[in-house]
Structures are given as structure tokens and as C-alpha cells.
Structure 1
């Protein structure tokens, strides 16, 4: 681990230093020496951070041993990926606010494949939603598309499982650290993904998932993929946050239509009404990316 990567690695373990601040530091000074050189008034002026907070961050920074943490993570098969690493996902690097680093377990090359599609939706899918997911995803998986989702219960879980069941590949982007899989009921599924697929997190491994982590995490789910498919979503839901972030990232948004009487279809139907592409079959996704798939 070179000097800059080591600095970034230690900054990643400072709980009071968020990813936006680290990204800004890295953008201003790729050597990260600025972290040690800024004066108290400059921290306040450029980052709106007061002296006591910076003192706490620096105390935490110097309290960590990179060598001990690396040894621990090696034993857990956890890897660290800085923004400037060649293996950092190409599409994710293009968004306005890419994570300055990622922690991962599994096959990181999956994140740089050309054919990545994100799939999100309700935690409580109907029978229709389950059938629609299988109907649309199976041909995608058979055409070697990598399925990206968030390991949540419901549509996320079904999307990951569909990839496994049909011999495909899948990526999970989680809201906490790799030592805290959420929900716990998906630990077995997560273990499978960590072995031969991929799990990503923008948090240090010991970070417990917080409610506010998940909307922020959604920008990674959409940003790493060519497009995002919505399968059943309420009018106000995390799935719609992901869809709107995909639009901001200039990515394609797809939605499977649902019954006008089902509240879990209101969000997806409104997305279609506002310009998302209506999907009834995988071919409706393939045709948006003719260079990526041989029909």
C-alpha cells in the first residue's frame, strides 16, 4: 500500500469525516497532504468544520494502525479500493459524487463489466411482482448481464437470487460496513455473494448501518450500472430515490408497469408517466443498449 492509499485508508476509518469531505480533500490535493497542512481557520472557511471536530478527526486518524487493520481485513478477505485505483468501477467514477473509496469482498472485476443493470423495488412484492421479476431478469442473466441491487428484503433479494439460480453474476451494494450485513436474514445470501460474486460498501467494515446511509447508498447502485429497473415501488420509496439519482447521472431508467389499484405500483407507473421506459420483456432493455448485447 503506497503512502497516498495508506492516508486515504486511515481517513476512511475516521467516523466524523464523511465521504464528501474526503472526496473534496482528494480533489484539491491528490497527495492528501492538505489534511495535515490546513490551519483551523482554513478548515472552517473551506469545509465549515470547527476546530474541536478537526481535533477529534486527527486524534482518531493517529489512533489507528494501518498495518493492524490491513492484517485483520486480510484475514476476513476484505479489500480496500481507492478512487484512483485502475479497478475502481469506471461508470461509478463518472458520477458527480463518487465514493472516494470502497471496501469489498468478492470479485471486483464484476464492477467493471460493460453489462450491469440495477434492479430495485418494494420490500413486499406481490405475486405479480415476483413473476414479473423472473420474466424480465432471466433473459438478461442468460445474456450475461450482471445484476446489481442492495441486498434488502423483497425485490433486492429476489434479484440477487435470480442471478444465482440462473447461473449469472450479481453485485450487492450495502448500507453499512461489511461486518454488519443488513438485514440479518440475508447473511447466508451475503456469504454466497462474498465468495464468488461481489459485495461493496462505502463505509469502513465496522460501521453499523444507519437509516440515512441507505438513500446515500442508492447513488452507488444506480451509478455503477448502465440503467436501473424499478419493479414495484410505492409513491414515496427508496426505489424512486434510486431512479431519480439514475436520471441525474444520465443513466437509463426502466419500470415494469403494475395495477392502478396496487399502491406498490404507483411509483413505477408514475415514473413511466414521466418518461421512464415501460418494460414488458428483457428485449425492451436490450434495445436501449445495442452495442452491449448481440441480439
Structure 2
């Protein structure tokens, strides 16, 4: 087995829209890492910057948004990170195109939950990878005494529930399209995230996981995907409608309520969803599988 000497530190580039920057590690003990933001220009400037930097491995968020010409300018191994579950023939066709054999292809893909859609079962899947979080951005512990509520406009409870909540605590609506720095600043000043959705938490929106990483209490009316193992009632509260109002009422009357839930959630994100650890494991698996394929291609060694 090939083992890299301890002094060897690969350069790993993360490329994606700026919204994914909090989900890539800013620093890591195991590699030099850097995030390159892809703009609306097709990504050419960011790709050239990554090339100049000398990255040997490239992890690309939302690979279905990229063209094969963009991939062709990136040397080394390329892994596509699919951060949210996709559906639709156009996105599926693009993933198939980008992983078809050739020097410009993506070598591996990740999918955020299990199972992968049957239409994509034949693609080179490396592993299931829920979108992780750079937990080193959040060094302060859980926000145990804060009751300021954040409510995303796109995942808001009904108007009647909001009206009841405003009688109990300060409520701030999060608008769509905030830059990462602005979003993290809003999380910094809050204690609770209320989230109303018809699909599993985190499946198409990383905000709930960011809130847990920051130490907020998450109150939502749906759970996370089962295979993410973020436990209802242990690490966040599942409450809908008037039950959501009652939970906030209990919190405002006793700000220390749900301490254990907040602490367990904060710790769970660090144990299971830390970006540095998650991507280190991913690249370790990619290296091992690559070595196995190499041996298979050259045949068994003698002796």
C-alpha cells in the first residue's frame, strides 16, 4: 500500500457558489485547503485561480452546473459534491455527461442521502455525504440563554403562528439570497431557528445544519433524513403549529429550557458533520479505491 510521508500536504481546492463557502474548511491539519467562488461567468476566473494556486485535487459543489470545458482546465482528481437531492432529467443527464469516461471527467460523486435515485445508480458514487459545516467558524458554545428567533421567509410557519410568536419573543425574518457573511452574522445574534417545511430538514437547504453548528435551538415541524442520525427531541425539537408556539413560550419563561438539546446538537455537528473531518475521510476513501483499481488494472503483484 502506498503511504504518503507525513510531511506531504496535498493542496485541495473547493469550488462552488459563494453560498457553499461555510461548508468547506478554511484550515485543515491534513492538507492545504482553499475555497474558490464560482460566479455567474461560468467559473473560468475561479478555475484559473485554482490552477495557478497549484491544487492537486478539486472538490466541486453542484457539479451539474459546470461544463466539461471547465473540468478540462482542472488537473488532478476531480470529485463532484452534490449538496442537495436532485430530480429531473436535465440534471441527471448532466451528471452522466460529466462522469462519462475521459480525461475531463469527474472521477467520483457524492449524494446527500440514501438511496441514490435508480436512474443514477450506475454512476461512480464514492459515498453518501450530507453537506458538512466548517465548525471551526463557530468556536463559541451553544447559545443557552438567547431567545431571539430567526424565521426564514422561505420556511416560515403560518401567519397566525407568527403572530402568536411575536407576542412572546423578538422575531427576525431571514430574507432569501443573503451572502454567507450576512447569514452567519444573523445566526451570531440569534438563539433559536424556527423552520417549517414539507420535506426532510437539510434536504434542500443547509440552514438548519448551520444553525445547529452555531449552537442555536432548532424547532421544526419535520425531521432530518433518517440516515443522517440527527435525533428528534434529543438534538432538535419537532413541533408544528401551536406546539411550536408552546415550545417558544416555555423557552421565554425559562430561558434555560432545552439546554441538553442545544448541547447535544452542537456536539453532534462537530462529531458527524465537521467539514475538515468529512472531506479528509472522503479523500482517504478516494485514494484507497484508486489504489485498488490501479492494482486491478495491472494485475496481482508477485511474491
Name the TM tier (shorter chain). Answer: under 0.3
**Greater Rg by CA:** 2
Q: Give the TM-score, by structure 2 length.
A: 0.27
Q: Give the TM-score, by structure 1 length.
A: 0.28
Structure showing the higher helix proportion among its residues: 1
